Structure 1
Amino acid sequence: MPVPIILSSPSGGGKTTIAHRLLIARRDCGYSVSCTTRAPRPGEKEGEDYYFISRDEFKRRQKAGAFAESATVHGHLYGTLRSEVERVMASGQNVIMDIDVQGTRQFIKAFPDSLLIFVLPPSSEAMLERLKARATEDRNALVRRFESAKEELKAIDLYRYVVVNDDLETAVTAVSDIVDGKGDRFQGSRSPGLDRRVKELVEGIQRAIGQYSKRK
């Protein structure tokens, strides 16, 4: 039976890239297109990556109960349409979703059978380099994303599975194995060294916040 598959990670963790790779590789997976009020990034397409709408339109849909989850992330509004999730599952496909922690908490109230996977970046340095490579983040935006990352890492126990994205191909295979029911070794609460890795990430993020906050 089709289910929603939620991929969450701090910004720069790779969840969106993994989601796109799964959609290419697996015919049993479809994508729920979310709404956002932020501007499109280079290469993003309306109706494929997101529905790019105004804040007024977003608020109207939110009031009407159209979203299974909605959140304010880095000053922009994001929301997952219930109708999109139901459309994909009605076609017989699992729904691949990349949403943040606060969105996940809301979403699982509407779809409690969701499969929850947290994607960890290999290090705070790697996360920073991925964010800088986007060329869309100024210093203040980077600090906000690192602050959010610290909070998201505190919620890792909400997720049944944890995958470390230190190699994209390996991470995609790991998530695919989880979808196929072969993911016992990725169960977060049982992963040796997970607490240490998360602690090191948080410490590295805190250092980065300090460094970027001091710059003028």
Structure 2
Amino acid sequence: MSGSDALHRRGLMFILSSPSGAGKTTIARRLLAEDSEIMLSVSATTRPMRPGEVDGKDYHFVSREEFHRMVEEDEFYEWAEVFGQCYGTPKAHIRAGLKAGQDYLFDIDWQGTQQLYQKDQQDVVRVFLLPPSIDELSRRLTGRGTDSAEVIQARMDRAKAEISHWDGYDYVVVNDDIDACFAKVVQILEAERMRRQRQTGLIGFVRELLK
């Protein structure tokens, strides 16, 4: 069964979390480029736009006042403050998209993952990426060459805090090889798409089989 004959399924919210430098961004970009059934959930943020970023594609850039209004009006699945800037996942369109079979990729930390899971357990799949070692993580962060020693140390401290929450995820993958790590993430996504409870078209299909 393929194409228009495929059974309808409910979409899922696929969370990829990792400490900074563990390869999450690379994996996420590749997944979006190679899998047409998943799209990025675009977060709202109060942080300034960086060179090359596009409003509405990378983030929805909003003022602090607008962000707090959205919090008060319960327009976020989850939100958090990180390094003095706020980030949140707007609910708009996502619920309707899930019902229509659209998958969403979430690039959020463990706090956001916890909030999202509490609000919508059935649609959430949680994947955490680990670096092969702390030394390798430090090397990757230092290798960027764009941050001060203080910023790198702050990121290392935050990375260790993030890693301590590894057991709050459904799947944990060590990223010692980017291709192997990506293959595992794809396997997880494919298996989760086939879960019986997401195959909403099965009910009618089985009913026909048993006529």
TM-score, normalised with respect to structure 1: 0.77
Structure 1 pair 163/42, CA: closer, same or farther in 2 (3 Å)? Answer: farther
Aligned partners of 2:171, 2:117: CA distance in 1, in Å?
15
Structure 1 pair 2/173, CA: closer, same or farther in 2 (3 Å)? Answer: same
Aligned residues: percent identity?
42
SS at match of 1:181: helix
Structure 1 pair 52/62, CA: closer, same or farther in 2 (3 Å)? Answer: same
Matches within 5 A, 1:43-58: 43-58=52-67
Aligned partners of 2:135, 2:48: CA distance in 1, in Å?
26
String of CA shifts for 1:86-115, please: whole Å, max 9, x gaps: 254245221111100011111111221211
Instruction: Tell me how many residue pairs correspond in the alignment.
Output: 182
Q: Which AA in structure 1 matches 2:153? A: V
SS at match of 2:36: coil
The answer to whether 1:170 aligns with 2:180 is yes
Structure 1 pair 87/30, CA: closer, same or farther in 2 (3 Å)? Answer: farther
Structure 1 pair 90/131, CA: closer, same or farther in 2 (3 Å)? Answer: farther
Q: Which residue of 1 aligns with 2:28?
A: 19
The answer to whether 1:146 aligns with 2:156 is yes
Q: Which residue of 1 aligns with 2:113?
A: 104
If asked which structure has higher relative contact order (CA below 8 Å, sep 6+), I would say 2
Contact 1:36 1:77 in 2 (8 A): yes
Which structure has the larger Rg?
Answer: 2
SS at match of 2:32: helix
SS at match of 2:88: strand
Q: Which residue of 2 aligns with 1:83?
A: 92
1:116 equivalent among 126, 132, 156: 126
Q: Which residue of 2 aligns with 1:131?
A: 141
The RMSD of aligned alpha carbons is 1.9
TM-score, normalised with respect to structure 2: 0.79
SS at match of 2:92: helix
Gaps of 5+ in 2: 1-9, 193-211
Which segment drifts farther, 67-76 or 88-97?
A: 88-97
Q: Which AA in structure 1 matches 2:136? A: A
Q: Which AA in structure 1 matches 2:190? A: D
Q: How far off its partner does 1:75 sit?
A: 1.8
Structure 1 pair 124/41, CA: closer, same or farther in 2 (3 Å)? Answer: farther
